[in-house]
Each structure stands twice: as structure tokens, then as C-alpha cells.
């Protein structure tokens, strides 16, 4: 008999999290990426409220997250992860490791397009990339299925005849963010009973049975390991059917490997995947009233490929219109239709298949478009139509140009009148006057879409005041990038390059070295001076730390500038390693069972100090003269000696839950309470450039915390321990800096 259920209005992500909470996974290793991030957020929120005890590990990137999950799964417990798009691709080399060493876990892939031009919306270019990794893949088409499949998934993956990792995939935004009426199990215990206990055959922490996991294996053994997996994939079809049947008894909801609607007698069938299916069903209801025999077929499982069931459901159709939400650039179609064609060929079928690549990058499918696609199918019965094409592209008007821009900045317009001179091994900077500096044309242009009171452009623009001459910027993915370059617009008046935030420092290294090589070869003028600046958020300084340190070690002539707003704000305020202890974020909630972030903030300038680059600094808009002076020094060092790293503290009123107008005051308070000391490390010598005590501006640590909603709870007496720990650590770090500042040898 079906277990007791209640109705809710929830989105796919909320339901994936609810299922995970009810199952109470041992470990979740994750790294935030839109649109999958909310799974970790909701799971953390439920944890803070005491609803689960999942050990949530915020990784340093998706590659790290996959590593955490792999390690945790070898240790024999239940493991969860969630990702999307480039995150999935960043993790992809770990996927075959996990599947071919046969450790089950559950990965939610909330489908999103893989950049090219950065697109955060839905298509299937990510999920189709992992078809060849040996993971099981089940695909949910609506929030109800997301919930159900998340309960079904571990039972399939952990089945004694399977023992494979599994992906639950669903459409980004359409399914992940749409809130629908769903039915969920009232009692967590019922869910736990259904999934049952997991007893791993082999674990990495069983000291009585030592074993070697991941041996070095070439021919002739390797192919046999893979053949085992291929056979298990076959077997998995039966197991999935079995678990689907069991789930039907448990929930009252029936699932099949392949599903259909009105396909039995249809002349034209659309073969599709994901959230579009429901829209197509609505179109079918309309067309059936007109007497048109149309139907739709969609798989719930794409690995293993249920080829018999696919063939059985489509075989009677005269024409199948296969809709691919990604392309394989093979002039045949994306993976969905290419595999359909292979299935039909294997079965000796002669149905006509028309492929249309549609809905890339989040382009919606409307009811009238579904009808148009059916019409295309009818046309194809008797006429010749293109077998493979795109649907929904725009030709464009050749006369239409990009929105008009501004004239490029000349050398003169970028002058700042600041003088920089090396005197006795130390740089001296003269002639900084804020009023005069307003004459310098801005390299960033208004019209960007940053939030009200966002500190990013205040800080960056102030820094830019200190640079004279030509500048090329590279932005990591993040708020600053997203809000300043929404196509076909840009808020950059100078040349700007984006790369994903694992890799900006390496990318800019390449640009700088090409510029220098071309100068050496005389291909560009030798007297052309360009200053290269990489801009990252604190998120890019987490996931991109490896290439940042690598760039610093190679000492390229460039500036790495971090705007630190203490969290992954672009994806919705998840904790970063720079988030201070106890601060509330969407992955470090405050509740009965948890009080904000569990570990101290990362000291990035001191990590960079270990690379011994010529210049390191911290600064903020609250101390503009100080920051501009450091910028001028940064430019000199970058152009003459090598890599510079700087950190700018940057207000995020939205996620700090503070008044937008108070941004400057809050970042000033962060310095005046010693949390964010202003200092520089010039050729190894540390100097505090501002001492709150000497300036008679010292404030209490608590005074800073009360200015933000995200930290107010730390004033509460019940959180005294966290407050004291945070205080102790910042005072320790500050004293250390001060002593270093007083002793040039340190």
C-alpha cells in the first residue's frame, strides 16, 4: 500500500534536497554552480533546522567535489553531489574513475548549456557529454519526478547486481526552479525504509580487510573491467524496472524506462527528453481534437539505453521528429537522435527520422512551436525535408549593427597625473588628488546591471584610477563579469576577456606572453605599453587558486585583482573560503543545529606571500588614496618586475543583508575592527598602511558585525563561543601582521 503523502508547492531543486534530507546521506561534497546550487542550499537549510545530519563539504571546485565524493563513497557510505554544465565537465575525468572502480553514489545534474559564450540556462549539452562515462543516467521531466527519482536512484545504484554511480538529471530552471504542486512522503522513515540500508562490499576504512582500490591496470585486464561494466549496464535495465515497480507500490506513481503519450496509433511521433515533453503533450491534446494522429515518446532512462522499449514505442510511426537539446556537430543530430537512429537501424526499421536541434541555452518551447514541429513531421511523410537542422534560430537583419558604443580611450584620456618613482629600493607615489582624477576617463562604463549599492565597480574603478595608459582586463566568471557583459552589450570601454574562473590567471599569462613575444619579434610596436589586470571574485580565488599560484610562481607581468565580497554572490550567496567564521550564507545557514560558517576565512594575501611575488596589497573604496597609491605601485611592479596580487574588500548589500547606502561604511568598519587590515608586501617587506589605533578609528569587532544581517546572530549570547573564536583569530592575524610590519626581516 502506498505510504502517506502530503502536497507541497516546490521546485525540482527543493525536492531533490528534500529527498536527500529524508534519506539522510552520509556526505555531500559539492561546489556551487547555477542552476544546481540550490540543492546544497536547501539541504543545508534543512540541516540547520535539525532535519538531517548530512556532512556537507564545500569543495574548492567541481573537480575537488568529485574527489571528495569519490573518497567518501570508497569509505562505504551514501554520497550525494549536484552540479551543472561546466562544473560537470570540470569533474568529468573523475566520473569514469568512480564508475569503473564501481562505487555507487548519486549525482544530480541540473542540465545547463556548456559555455562557449557563458549561458546559464537549460540545454542538454552537459548531460550528453557524460553518456560515455559508465554512469547510470535517469532523467526527470518535472519536479515530482525529481523527488521520486532521487528516492529511487540510490536503490538502483547500490543494488547488489549493479554497484554503479547514478545521475539524476533534470532541466535547469524549467524543472529545477519551477514550483509545482507535488506529493511527498510525510514521514522520513518511510523513505529510509524504501531505500533500505546500504552495506558496501568493499570499503577503504575496513582495517581488517585491507584492499587496494584503483590499481594500475593495462591490457589484457582493462578491457575486461570495461566489459564487466557493459554487462552490468544491461543487467541494470532489469533492476531499474524492478525498482520502478517497487516504487509504484510504495508511492502510487508508475514509471517506465520509456514512456509515451498517444503514441500507439500516431503517424507522427516527437521523441524528446525533459521538461518540453509536457508542453508537447498539451499540443497533442489540441491536435488530436483536429483529428491529427500525433504522439510523444520520452525516455526516463538514457543509460543504460532502453533500446527495445524505445523501438517498441516508436515503431509504428511514419515519421519520428527527434528533438535534440544539444548538437554533436555530425550533421546527423545530437546524441538523443543519433542513438534513436542507431536503434532503428539495428532493428531493421525504416521509419523516417527528422532531427531538429532546439532550445539551446534556455530557449523555451512554446505550444505553437510543438505543433509546428508535428506539422513538419506530417510534411515529411510525403515530401523531402531536411533530415537535420536547427529549430528556433534567428536569421538576423544584416543591416542591424550592435548597439552603438563609445569611442576607444586614447592614451591621454587614461592619464592620471600620478608620478611613481623608485627611491632607495622603495616606490614613491606622488600627486594623487581625487578631484583631479575625475578627469581621467573611466574604463568601466555605466549601464551595467550590478545590484543596488554593489561595491564591485566602486572598488575596481577606484583601483583603475591608479593606472595610467592602456589596460587589458580579464574577468573571471562572477558578478562583475555577468553584470558587465550581457550580450550584445558591454560595460567595458577597454579590451576585456572572460574565462571560466578556474583558469583566468593562466589565460592572462598566455595573453601577456604572446604580447611580449610579438614585441620581441617586432610584430607590434616595442613602445606599446599595456598593463594587464585579471579581475576575480573570492570565488575565482578558490576554484582558480591553482592557476593563480602557478601564474605567481612563473612571475608573469600582470596584476591579479580580487574583489572579495565574502561569498559566491553570483550564484546566490554560497559560502566561499573567504567567508568569515560564523557568517550566514545560503550554504552556511543559521538554525537550531548550525550557526553559520564552520571555519575561518582564507588569508589569500598571505598565501600569495608564499609565492614571493614583488608586490601584494589589500585595499578598499573606504580608503581611496591608499588604494590608488597601491594601484600605481601595482602597475609599476607588474610592468617592471612581475606578478602583483591585490585584494579589495567589496560590499554586497544583497547578501550581507545590509543597507545599500552603508557599503562604504561597512568596508571601513571591517578595517577599523582589524578584520581587514590594510597593508602591502613590497619586495618581501610587509607594511601596514593604516593602523586603526594610530588613526584613532579603532572600533569593536561587534560594531562591524551589527551592521550586517548575515552576522547579527553572532552578537547573541548563545553564539559567544563563535564570536570569541572569530575575534581571537582576527586579533592573532592582525598582531602577526603588525609585528611583521615593524620588522623588515619578517
Partner 1 sequence: MLPITNQYGLFEVRFESIGGLGANIAGKMLAEAGLKYLNLNVASFSSYGSEKTGTPIKTFVRFSDPEVPIKINSPVENPHLLVIFHENLINALPVTLGCNENTIIIVNTKKSPSEIQDMLKIPTATIGTVDAIGISLEEKVKFNGILLGAISKAIGFIKPEHIKGIFEDIIGKKYPAVLEANFRAIERGYNEVKIEKVKEKKEYSFKPFAKPSNLIGYENQIIGGLVVNPGNSFSKDLSASRNGLIPVFNSQKCTSCGMCDIVCPDLCMVFIEENGQMIMKGIDYQYCKGCLKCVQICPVKALTEGVEAEYDVKSMTVKLFTEKDTAQNHR
- Scan residues 155-184 and list those touching partner 1 (CB under 8 A): 173-175, 177-181
The reply on whether position 393 binds partner 1 by CB under 8 A is yes
Q: Which is nearer to partner 1, 227 or 366 (CB)?
A: 366
Residue closer to partner 1 by CB (options 474, 479) is 479
Nearest to 273 by CA among 313, 318, 309, 325: 325
Q: What is the DSSP string of 658-694?
A: --GGGHHHHHHHHHHTTSS-EEEEETTEEEEEE-TTT
Angle at 522 between CA 521 and CA 527, to 5 degrees: 125
Which one, 18 or 232, has the nearer CB to partner 1? 18
Quote the CA–CA distance of 585 and 594 in Å, as a whole number: 12
Among 192, 253, 315, 442, binds partner 1 (CB under 8 A): 442
- Whole-number minimum distance, CB 260 to partner 1, in Å? 15
Residue 34 found at the interface with partner 1 (CB under 8 A): yes
Segment interacting with partner 1, rule: CB under 8 A, options 200-208, 299-307, 358-366, 503-511? 358-366
Q: Is 50 in the site for partner 1 (CB under 8 A)?
A: no
Answer left, alpha or beta for residue 398, where phi above 0 means left and psi between -120 and 50 means alpha.
alpha
Q: Contact, 157 vs 103, CB < 8 A?
A: no
Q: Is 73 or 113 the residue whose CB approaches partner 1 more closely? A: 113
If binding is defined by CB under 8 A, does position 437 make contact with partner 1? yes
Query: Which one among 184, 232, 654, 740 touches partner 1, defined by CB under 8 A?
Result: 654
When asked if residue 372 is in the footprint of partner 1 (CB under 8 A), the reply is no
- Quick one: which of 203, 153, 364 has its CA closest to 279? 364
- Out of 202, 489, 515, 690, the only residue in the binding site for partner 1 (CB under 8 A) is 489
* Cell 509515451 found at: 260
Among 231, 386, 430, 439, binds partner 1 (CB under 8 A): 439
Is there binding between residue 7 and partner 1 (CB under 8 A)? yes
Q: How many residues appear in the chain?
A: 746
- Interface with partner 1 in residues 452-471 (CB under 8 A): 452-458, 461-462
Could you tell me how many residues of this chain bind partner 1 (CB under 8 A)?
Answer: 96
Smallest separation, CB 602 to partner 1 (Å) = 23
In this complex, which beta carbon is closest to partner 1, that of residue 347 or of residue 492? 492
By CB atoms closer than 10 A (0-12, 13-18, 19+), residue 58 is buried
Site for partner 1 in 238-297 (CB under 8 A): 275-276, 278-279, 281-282, 286
Among 226, 237, 379, 492, binds partner 1 (CB under 8 A): 492
Q: Which stretch binds partner 1 (CB under 8 A): 155-163, 475-483, 529-537, 610-618?
A: 475-483
As to burial, measured by CB atoms within 10 angstroms (0-12 exposed, 13-18 middle, 19+ buried), residue 322 is buried
Among 210, 220, 425, 488, binds partner 1 (CB under 8 A): 488
Interaction of residue 207 with partner 1, rule CB under 8 A: no
Is residue 641 close enough to count as binding partner 1 by CB under 8 A? no
Residues 431/630, Cβ–Cβ less than 8 Å: no
Name the minimum Å distance from CB 361 to partner 1: 10
365 part of the interface to partner 1, by CB under 8 A: yes
Task: Please report whether residue 569 would count as binding partner 1 according to CB under 8 A.
Answer: yes
The candidate with the shortest Cα–Cα distance to 295, out of 378, 379, 384, is 378
493 vs 647, which CB is nearer to partner 1?
A: 493
| Binds partner 1 by CB under 8 A, chosen from 160, 199, 398, 521 | 398
Q: Does 519 bind partner 1 (CB under 8 A)?
A: no
Under rule CB under 8 A, residue 445 binds partner 1: yes
Span near partner 1 by CB under 8 A; candidates 98-106, 231-239, 492-500, 544-552: 492-500
Residues 599-638 that bind partner 1 (CB under 8 A): 621, 624
Pairing of strands 352-357, 319-324: parallel
Separation between Cα atoms, residue 123 and residue 116, nearest integer Å: 13
Kindly compute the dihedral angle of the four CA atoms of residues 162, 134, 110, 79, in this order, to the nearest 10 degrees: 50
Using CB under 8 A, which of the segments 203-211, 348-356, 362-370, 675-683 binds partner 1?
A: 362-370
Q: CA-CA distance, 163 to 170, in Å (whole number)?
A: 22
Task: Give CA separation, 398 vs 138, 389, 393, 402, in Å.
Answer: 43, 22, 15, 11
Task: Work out whether 186 is an interface residue with partner 1 (CB under 8 A).
Answer: no
Contact between 494 and 470 under an 8 Å Cβ cutoff? The reply is yes
Which span (71-79, 491-499, 669-677, 686-694) binds partner 1, by CB under 8 A? 491-499
Residues numbered 100-159 forming contacts with partner 1, rule: CB under 8 A: 116-117, 120-121
Strand ranges, E, within 469-526: 470-476, 496-499
Distance CA 707, CA 91 (A): 39
Candidate list 530, 549, 662, 688; residue touching partner 1; CB under 8 A: 662
Query: Coil, strand, or helix at residue 588?
Result: strand
CA distance 170 to 16: 10
Angle among Cα 205, 103, 196 to the nearest 5 degrees reads 85
Q: Are strands 530-537 and 496-499 parallel, antiparallel or unpaired?
A: unpaired
Q: Which of 356, 468, 493, 710 binds partner 1 (CB under 8 A)?
A: 493
Q: Which of 573, 578, 618, 674 is close enough to bind partner 1 by CB under 8 A? A: 573
Amino acid at each position: 500500500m502506498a505510504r502517506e503523502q502530503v502536497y507541497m508547492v516546490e521546485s525540482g531543486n527543493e525536492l531533490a534536497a528534500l529527498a536527500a534530507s529524508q534519506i539522510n546521506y552520509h556526505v555531500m561534497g559539492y561546489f556551487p554552480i547555477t542552476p544546481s546550487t540550490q540543492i546544497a542550499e536547501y539541504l543545508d537549510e534543512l540541516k540547520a533546522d535539525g532535519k538531517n545530519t548530512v556532512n556537507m563539504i564545500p569543495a574548492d571546485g567541481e573537480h575537488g567535489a568529485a574527489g571528495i565524493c569519490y573518497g567518501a563513497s570508497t569509505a562505504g557510505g551514501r554520497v550525494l553531489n549536484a552540479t551543472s554544465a561546466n562544473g560537470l565537465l570540470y569533474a568529468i575525468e573523475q566520473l569514469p574513475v568512480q564508475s569503473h572502480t564501481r562505487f555507487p553514489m548519486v549525482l544530480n545534474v541540473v542540465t545547463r548549456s556548456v559555455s562557449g559564450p557563458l549561458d546559464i540556462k537549460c540545454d542538454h549539452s552537459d548531460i550528453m557529454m557524460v553518456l560515455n562515462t559508465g554512469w547510470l543516467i535517469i532523467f526527470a521531466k518535472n519536479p515530482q519526478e525529481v523527488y521520486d527519482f532521487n528516492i529511487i536512484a540510490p536503490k538502483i545504484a547500490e543494488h547488489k547486481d549493479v554497484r554503479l554511480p547514478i545521475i539524476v538529471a533534470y532541466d535547469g530552471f524549467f524543472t529545477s526552479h519551477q514550483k509545482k504542486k507535488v506529493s511527498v512522503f510525510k514521514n522520513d522513515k518511510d523513505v529510509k525504509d524504501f531505500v533500505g540500508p546500504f552495506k558496501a562490499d568493499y570499503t577503504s576504512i575496513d582495517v581488517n580487510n585491507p584492499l587496494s582500490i584503483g590499481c594500475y591496470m593495462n591490457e589484457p585486464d582493462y578491457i575486461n573491467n570495461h566489459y564487466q561494466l557493459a554487462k552490468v549496464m544491461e543487467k541494470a535495465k532489469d533492476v531499474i524496472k524492478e525498482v520502478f515497480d517497487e516504487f509504484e507500490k510504495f508511492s502510487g506513481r508508475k514509471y517506465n524506462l520509456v514512456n509515451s503519450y498517444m503514441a500507439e496509433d500516431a503517424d507522427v511521433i516527437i521523441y524528446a527528453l525533459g521538461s518540453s515533453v509536457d508542453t508537447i503533450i498539451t499540443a497533442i491534446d489540441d491536435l488530436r481534437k483536429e483529428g491529427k494522429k500525433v504522439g510523444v515518446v520520452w525516455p526516463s532512462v538514457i543509460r543504460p539505453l532502453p533500446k527495445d522499449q524505445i523501438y517498441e514505442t516508436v515503431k509504428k510511426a511514419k515519421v519520428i521528429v527527434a528533438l535534440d537539446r544539444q548538437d554533436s556537430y555530425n550533421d546527423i543530430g545530437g546524441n538523443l537522435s543519433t542513438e534513436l537512429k542507431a536503434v532503428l537501424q539495428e532493428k531493421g526499421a525504416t521509419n523516417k527520422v527528422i532531427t531538429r536541434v532546439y532550445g539551446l541555452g534556455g530557449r523555451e518551447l512554446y505550444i505553437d512551436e510543438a505543433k509546428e514541429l508535428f506539422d513538419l513531421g506530417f510534411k515529411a511523410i510525403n515530401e523531402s525535408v531536411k533530415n537535420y537542422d536547427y529549430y528556433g534560430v534567428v536569421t538576423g537583419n544584416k543591416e542591424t549593427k550592435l548597439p552603438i558604443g563609445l569611442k576607444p580611450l586614447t592614451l591621454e584620456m587614461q592619464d592620471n597625473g600620478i608620478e611613481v618613482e623608485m627611491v632607495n629600493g622603495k616606490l614613491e607615489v606622488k600627486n594623487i588628488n581625487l578631484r583631479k582624477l575625475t578627469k581621467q576617463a573611466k574604463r568601466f562604463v555605466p549601464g551595467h546591471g550590478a545590484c543596488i549599492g554593489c561595491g564591485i565597480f566602486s572598488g575596481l574603478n577606484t583601483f583603475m584610477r591608479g593606472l595610467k595608459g592602456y589596460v587589458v582586463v580579464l574577468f573571471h566568471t562572477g558578478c562583475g563579469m555577468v553584470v558587465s557583459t550581457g550580450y550584445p552589450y558591454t560595460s567595458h570601454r577597454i579590451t576585456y576577456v572572460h574565462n571560466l574562473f578556474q583558469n583566468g590567471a593562466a589565460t592572462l599569462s598566455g595573453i601577456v606572453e604572446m604580447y611580449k613575444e610579438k614585441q620581441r619579434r617586432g610584430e607590434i610596436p616595442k613602445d606599446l605599453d599595456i598593463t594587464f589586470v585579471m579581475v576575480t571574485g573570492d570565488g575565482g580565488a578558490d576554484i582558480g587558486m591553482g592557476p593563480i599560484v602557478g601564474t605567481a610562481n612563473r612571475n608573469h607581468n600582470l596584476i591579479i585583482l580580487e574583489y572579495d565580497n565574502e561569498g559566491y554572490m553570483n550564484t546566490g550567496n554560497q559560502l566561499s573560503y573567504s567567508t568569515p567564521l560564523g557568517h550566514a550564507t545560503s550554504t552556511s545557514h543559521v538554525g537550531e543545529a548550525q550557526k553559520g560558517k564552520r571555519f575561518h576565512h582564507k588569508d589569500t594575501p598571505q598565501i600569495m606571500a608564499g609565492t614571493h611575488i614583488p608586490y601584494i596589497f589589500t585595499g578598499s573604496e573606504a580608503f581611496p588614496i591608499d588604494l590608488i597609491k597601491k594601484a600605481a605601485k601595482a602597475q609599476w611592479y607588474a610592468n617592471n618586475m612581475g606578478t602583483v596580487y591585490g585584494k579589495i574588500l567589496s560590499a554586497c548589500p544583497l547578501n550581507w543583508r545590509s543597507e545599500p547606502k552603508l557599503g562604504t561604511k561597512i568596508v571601513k568598519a571591517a578595517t577599523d575592527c582589524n578584520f581587514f587590515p590594510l597593508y602591502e608586501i613590497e619586495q618581501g617587506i610587509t607594511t601596514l598602511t593604516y593602523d586603526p589605533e594610530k588613526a584613532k578609528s579603532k572600533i569593536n569587532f561587534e560594531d562591524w558585525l551589527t551592521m550586517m544581517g548575515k552576522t547579527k546572530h553572532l552578537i547573541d549570547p548563545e553564539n559567544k563561543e563563535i564570536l570569541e573564536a572569530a575575534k581571537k583569530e582576527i586579533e592573532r592575524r592582525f598582531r602577526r601582521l603588525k609585528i611583521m610590519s615593524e620588522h623588515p626581516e619578517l
